[in-house]
Amino acid sequence: MILCCGESLMDMIPSETADGQACFVPHPGGAVFNTAIALGRLGVDAGLLTGLSSDLFGAQLRQALEDSHVDTRFAVSTDRPTTLAFVALRDGQASYSFFDENSALRMLSAEEIPPLDPEIDCLFFGGISLASEPCADTFASLLAREAETRLAMLDPNIRPSFIADEGRFRSRLKRMMERCDIVKVSDEDLDWLVPRPLTIREKLQSILELGPSLVLATQGREGAIGMSAAGSDVESSAVMVDVVDTVGAGDTFNAGFLAGLSRQNKLSRAGIGELTDAELESALGLGSAAAAVTVSRAGANPPWEREMV
């Protein structure tokens, strides 16, 4: 099983009422939630460890997880409210305003996290749950506790406006990248993490030097790059589609990549250490193909396995 550890929230997507008035429509979302949903739809055994509210939005989130075959037994139930993310779209690109005070996600503590089953092969971390304290420290401590025995992947999915203390955030993220086996970044994440005048590969190499076995970078229409500590340097072309919006694109890429590793029986530390260039390219390609389906339709709506033909 791949256990996705991080946020579940409601994306409030701009729309119009029947009489043309502006409104927001709630859609289940959150970077880590989206990755779990995409994994479940791609036929991968997946679960979500998150703070899940007992409010009406929490019920909607739980139902969406179950509908996509995601295991919810690791979700911590609470009466705290659900995080809301109001989305603004411009030319298909999304920006966000978060409402997160005292939420089910933000207040998740290490003491509330249930014991993890031996069946969990991989932990995935990412999103605003790495920036929002105190839950950010909760997830960092979970990684520190489990990193020696399970494969771990991290996607920081950086939202600069959400970071209250940049120094603390950078320090925590560095510690987590040092413990992870796979780190995935967007080109924008990479520029924020390594704000020096270097090439994209030089920046990726600086992350590899922290300790991961693999680093991945997505570049929108420019495709994706995968580099390994063993010396692999692979590119995968983007799948060209008409973009409706980009909500959930990177999250779906993460799921597709992990599904690609799983299909090749490489979802382990030993497995990624033995990855050939062809196997790495195949996993990148599945990530890109899955993300292309998501961006071709409104909202974070990842593809089902039957759509990946």
Q: Are 110 and 141 in contact (CB under 8 A)?
A: yes
Confidence at 92, pLDDT banded by 50, 70, 90: low
- Asked if 51 and 105 touch (Cβ cutoff 8 Å), the reply is yes
CB 49 within 8 A of CB 71: no
User: Is residue 159 over pLDDT 90?
Assistant: no
pLDDT in tens, 239-285: 888 887 777 889 999 999 999 999 999 999 999 999 999 999 999 99
Question: Can you give the pLDDT at residue 155?
Answer: 97
Residue-wise pLDDT for 270-281, tens only, equals: 999 999 999 999
Domain positions in the chain are 2-304
User: What's the rounded mean pLDDT across residues 198-206?
Assistant: 96
Residue 94, pLDDT above cutoff 70: no
Average pLDDT of the chain is 93
What are the percentages of helix, strand and coil residues in the chain, rounded to 5? 40, 25, 35
Q: Which of 9-18, 76-85, 291-300 has the lowest mean pLDDT?
A: 291-300
Could you tell me what percent of the chain has a pLDDT over 70? 99
Give the closest residue to 212 by CA, choosing from 165, 154, 164: 154
Residue 57 has a pLDDT of 97
Look at residue 93 and tell me whether its pLDDT is greater than 70.
no
Question: Averaged over 48-70, what is the pLDDT?
Answer: 97
- Fold classification of 2-304 is UDP-N-acetylmuramoyl-L-alanine:D-glutamate ligase (3.40.1190)
Q: Can you tell me the distance from the alpha carbon of 223 to that of 235, in angstroms, rounded to the nearest whole number?
A: 7
Residue 113 has pLDDT above 80, yes or no: yes
Task: Look at residue 248 in the predicted model and tell me its pLDDT.
Answer: 80
Confidence grade of residue 294 (pLDDT, cut at 50, 70, 90)? confident
Please give the average per-residue pLDDT across 218-245, as a whole number: 89
Q: Does the pTM of the predicted model rise above 0.85?
A: yes
The beta-strand segments (E) located in 106-236 are: 122-126, 151-155, 182-186, 214-218, 224-228, 233-236
Q: Are 32 and 135 in contact (CB under 8 A)?
A: no
What values do phi and psi take at 209, rounded to 5?
-70, -15
3-class secondary-structure state, position 278? helix
